[in-house]
Amino acid sequence: MHTTLGAVLRAPGGPLSVEEITLPGLGPDDVRVRMAATGVCHSDLSLADGTLAHAVPVVLGHEGAGHVAEVGGAVTDLSVGDAVLLNWNPPCRTCWHCVNGEPYLCANAAEASRRVWGTLADGTPVHPGLGVAAFSQETVVPAASCLVVPDDVPPAQAALLGCAVLTGVGAVRNAAGVRPGESVAVIGLGGVGLSVVQGARIAGASTIIAVDPAAEKEELARSMGATHFLAPGDDLSRRIRAIADGRGVDHAIECVGRAATIRAAWSATRRGGKATVVGFGAATDELSFNALEITHFARALQGSLYGSSDPAVEVPELLRLYREGELDLSALVTRTIGLHEVEEAFADMRSGRGARSLVLF
């Protein structure tokens, strides 16, 4: 048994409190990871405020990297001291989706999040946020949730590959399939949206229209490849279409998760183009289309979960792009914080400030 400090959410909408947690002994297929860095993702905020449901009490955090501190008896591909990236959506490799090339839709990936992960000082069971619980000094996860990271990649940058970059660049590469010379609109410039901008540049997009209400993000977006920057508004789709020769963009990628911005992405896309939704929204936020426009515009509207990617394949490719200077990971981090400052990072998200806050341990 080990004890650790973690940021605990006891009820949706409630505050986070840093508390001592007793971790369980390892199962044969588990590993204990000493965390080095964890990104604060908008999905964590959605879980914290109840937009997305999760069992509580819970330690959130799912975008993390660290070092293996202990391995279970059946673990053969990881060793103590290995630098690892945590995968919140580990494929089982045996279900229908995994066997048919859709590991990001694995039917069994969520099993880890349903288990009891530790106990509070009063004996209350604690659950691991998205199976990872990375807002903690140490965590216990299945070995399948760990990807070894080469020692030359700093954990503070490797952590971002666990969600923001894999989701954003993956949406461009795998879901949208952006090709050289195409035009792309990116709505929402958090860590995921800025990763989409980088992915579009790497894919060779000729026009990249970045959209965000925070004017201070324009310089950062342009440094990552955006050719235009727009503030949202009722006429956003019209303004995007005007930039894209009046037709609309080949691809609109929505990274907010709201009906209004999904609708704007759809309307900004040219006839025959593709709108891809990456943002997680609320089940109560409904979106409607009329029966004529679906056929008339012949657009595709699709979702993309975890970049429609297989991390075992994508992460090595992202690391190659990072080493070659094509992918800038450090620029995504606009603030480094301690574990007790996660609530402040949530406040920044609510107000639209910054890109990624990173917890350093």
Q: Domain extents for the chain? A: 2-162+329-360, 168-308
- Report pLDDT for 271: 97
Q: What is the pLDDT at residue 268?
A: 98
Q: How large is the average pLDDT for residues 164-176?
A: 97
Whether 132 has a pLDDT exceeding 90, the answer reads yes
Q: What six digits make up the tokens of 227? A: 């050719």
Residues found in the chain: 361
Q: Topology of 2-162+329-360 in CATH?
A: Quinone Oxidoreductase; Chain A, domain 1 (3.90.180)
What is the mean pLDDT of the segment spanning 343-360?
A: 90
107-121, 154-168, 235-249, 267-281: range with lowest mean pLDDT: 107-121
Q: Which two tokens stand for residue 181?
A: 């010379």
Burial class (CB in 10 A: 0-12, 13-18, 19+), 303: middle
* Fold category of 168-308 in CATH: Rossmann fold (3.40.50)
DSSP letter (8 states) at residue 117: -
| Confidence grade of residue 355 (pLDDT, cut at 50, 70, 90) | confident
Is pLDDT of 264 > 80?
yes
Comparing C-alpha atoms, which of 192, 270, 282, 193 is closest to residue 230? 193
**pLDDT reading at 156 higher than 90:** no
The secondary structure of residue 65, as a DSSP letter, is E
Q: Provide the pLDDT for residue 313.
A: 93
Q: Specify the pLDDT at position 126.
A: 95
Confidence of residue 310 (pLDDT cuts 50, 70, 90): very high
Residue 99's pLDDT is 97
Q: What pLDDT score does 52 carry?
A: 86
| Host H or E run for residue 165 | helix 164-170
**pLDDT for residue 274:** 98
Task: Give the confidence band of 254 by pLDDT, cuts at 50, 70, 90.
Answer: very high
Spatial separation of the C-alpha atoms in residues 300 and 218, rounded to whole Å: 28
pLDDT at 2 over 90: no
- Amino acid in position 216: E
Structure tokens at 306: 């975890």
What pLDDT is attached to residue 1? Answer: 74
What pairs with residue 33 in β-bridges? 68, 139
DSSP state of 147: E
User: How confident is the model at residue 358, as a pLDDT?
Assistant: 95
Over residues 51-95, the pLDDT tens digits come to 888 889 999 999 999 999 999 999 999 999 999 999 999 999 999
pLDDT (average), residues 290-304: 96
Across the chain, which distance is largest between two alpha carbons, in Å?
A: 63
pLDDT for residue 336: 95
How far, in Å, CA of 351 to CA of 346, rounded? 9
Residue (of 196, 222, 162, 194) closest to 275 by Cα position: 196
Predicted pLDDT of residue 352: 83
pLDDT grade for 24, boundaries at 50, 70 and 90:
confident
Per-residue pLDDT of 183-210, as tens digits, reads 999 999 999 999 999 999 999 999 999 9
